[in-house]
Structure 1
C-alpha cells in the first residue's frame, strides 16, 4: 500500500487552514496514496481560551470535518485526520482524531487519552486539561490493510498504550502530533522508533511544523517507520507531504523474527528498602 503524511503549519483561521490541508490532500492523492494522514489540530492552532472556544464546533456541525468527508469520497481515499478541536460542552473541548473511509463515512473516532500539562522550563507552559476533556478509550479500527491503532501526540510517551495495540494485532499505528521544538529535537525520532520496535507495526506520524501565528513553534519531521524501527520517510521541517510504500507482509515477518508480543508475562513488583 502507498501512504502519505501531510505536514502543516496550521494557522488560527479554521476555514483557511482546512483549505490548505485539502490542497495537500489532493496533491498526495494524485501520487496514488491510498491512506492519507494529517497532523494533530489540523484545522486550528489557537492558544487563547476564549477564541478557541468561540471557533470550535460540535462534531455534527463542524464544517472542516464535513469537507474532509467529502474529499475522501471524491478522491476515493482513506483519510486519517490527526485531530480536530471539537466542542463537547460549553467550556470543554476534545482533541479528536477521525478515520474516514473512501466512501466519506466516519469509521472511527479517538479522543486524546493523555493531556499535555507541563512546564518545559523555557517559558513554555501547557495546561491542556484546563480546556480539554481526556479520552477514555484506546481505539483499534479495521481498515482494508489490517487493524489500525489510534493515538495523538503526548500519548507517544506512554508505551503501555502501544503495547496493547501491538497485542491487539495492529499493523498500522497513527501518531499525529504538534511536538514542540525542544521536545522534538530531544525525543521525537527516538520515541517513535521505539514504538515501532516494541510493536512490530508501521508507525505513521504526521506532524505540525514551523512558526505558527500564535507564536508557537513546532518540530515537524513527519515520519513513516517500518516494523524493524527503520525510518523510511522523513518530511524534515518544511510544510508539504511525504509518501511511502508499505509492505504489510513485513509486519508478520518482523513479529516472527522478534516475537516479544507473545512473550509478555505477569509479574509482581517488589521494591526493596535498605
Structure 2
C-alpha cells in the first residue's frame, strides 16, 4: 500500500486490503509498517499517535472483527507521551481482540549514500521485548522493518518456536533495491522459517519514497509470492509439512553449537 497523511484514506485503503484477503480465502493478513499514517515529518506522526485503546486503532480492530479475519498491523504509532511513541506491531484476532503487541527494538538512525538522514529515535521509543504469538497461520515471530538487519533477533524468535517471521516494512527505495530481498531470503534460510514481508510502496510525499516488493519466502529461501507495484495483496499457504521437511533435510538446529560461539 501507499499510505499518506490522510488518516481516513488510510483506513479505507486497509479496508480494501482486508476485503481482498477475505475474498482470497485468507485466514490472516499482514499489513505494512506505517499503514495508518505517513506524514511529511516525524513531528506529524507524533501528533497523530495515540494509545492502542484510542479511537483510531479501534477503527482498525473493527476492520478485523467485521471481516472475521486475523490482521497483523505492522507499525502503529502507539503514544508514549506528548512527543514520543512506540512503533507497534499489533496482532488483532478475528473477534477484534488484541492478541499481541511488539514494539520495534531497532530504530532507523542512518545516513544513506544519497545524503538523506533518518533519525527515528528522535520521536520513537524503542521496545525491549521479543514476541512470538500463536495464530491460524502458525507461530508468528513479530518484527518491524529495520529489525531485518539484526539476524540475532530472528534467531531468538526461531528459538522461541516461531514458524513464520513477519517483517512489515517501509524500506526506502535506495536501500530496498540493494538489500530487501537478500536480507529476507537470508532470514528465511538461516532460520528455516517462512518469512512474510508486507511493504509500503511508491511516493508518499516529497520526503518519502518506498521500495515496495512485498513478498513471502519459504524455509528453503524461495520467493513463493510477491506483490506487483501499487496497492494489492499476495497470498501464500503456510505449509508446515514443508517447513518440517526442510528442517529434517538440513538439521541446523541439531548441529548448532552455541557453547562454542561464546569464545
Aligning the two structures, in what range does the TM-score lie when normalised by the shorter sequence? over 0.9
Q: Deviations over 1:30-59 (max 9, x none)?
A: 111111010001110124243222222122
Matched residues in 1 for 2:262 and 2:235: separation?
A: 44
In the alignment, structure 1 segments of 5+ residues that lack a partner are: 1-7
Q: CA deviation at 1:208?
A: 0.2
**Partner Cα separation in structure 1 for residue 246 and residue 234 of structure 2:** 24
Deviations 1:133-192 (A, max 9, x none): 001001011123431100000000000111112222211110000001111010100000
Calculate the TM-score normalised by the size of structure 1. Answer: 0.91
Which deviates more from structure 2 when the two are superposed, residues 88-97 or residues 245-254? Answer: 245-254
Match of 2:20 among 24, 27, 34: 27
Say if 1:219 and 1:237, in contact at 8 Å, map to a contact too: no
* Match in the other structure for 1:170: 162
Q: Which runs of 5+ in 2 are unaligned?
A: none
Q: 2:256 aligns with which of 235, 254, 264?
A: 264
C-alpha distance in structure 1 between counterparts of 2:221 and 2:106, whole Å = 24
Residue 16 of structure 2 aligns to a residue whose secondary structure is helix
Alignment match of 2:35 (pick from 37, 42, 45): 42
Residue matched to 1:208: 200
Contact 2:40 / 2:207 at 8 angstroms: preserved in 1? no
Q: Which of residues 238, 242, 252 in structure 1 aligns to 2:234? A: 242
Let me know the Cα RMSD of the aligned residues. Answer: 1.4
Tell me which of the two structures has the higher relative contact order, counting C-alpha pairs closer than 8 angstroms and 6 or more residues apart. Answer: 1
Q: In structure 2, what is the equivalent of residue 95 of structure 1?
A: 87
Q: Secondary structure at the match of 2:12?
A: helix
Task: Please say if residues 145 and 248 of structure 1, whose CA atoms lie closer than 8 Å, have aligned partners that are also in contact.
Answer: no
Q: What secondary structure sits across from 1:196 in the alignment?
A: helix
Partners of 2:48 and 2:168 lie apart in 1 by 22
Tell me how far apart the structure 1 counterparts of residues 133 and 40 of structure 2 sit (CA, whole Å): 31
Shift of 1:256: 1.1
Q: Residues 201-244 of structure 1, C-alpha deviation per residue, up to 9 Å, x if partnerless?
A: 11000000000124311000001100100001111322211112
TM-score (norm 2): 0.95
* 2:6 corresponds to which of 10, 13, 16: 13
Aligned equivalents of 1:146 and 1:157: distance in 2? 23
* Residue number in structure 2 paired with 1:4: none
Runs of 4+ in 1 over 4 A off after TM superposition: none
Asked if structure 1 preserves the Cα contact closer than 8 Å seen for 2:110 and 2:119, the reply is yes
CA 1:91–1:248 in structure 2 vs 1: closer, same or farther (change >3 Å)?
same
Larger mean CA deviation between 86-95 and 65-74 belongs to 65-74
1:184 to 173, 176, 185: 176
Higher strand proportion, which one?
1
What secondary structure is seen at the aligned counterpart in 1 of 2:260? coil
Does the residue aligned with 1:233 lie in a helix, a strand or coil?
strand
Say which SS state the counterpart of residue 53 (structure 2) adopts: helix
- Counterparts of 1:136-155 in structure 2, within 5 Å, are 136-155=128-147
Change (3 A) 1:206 1:268: closer
Distance in 2 of aligned mates of 1:50 and 1:134: 17
Offset of residue 269 of structure 1: 6.0
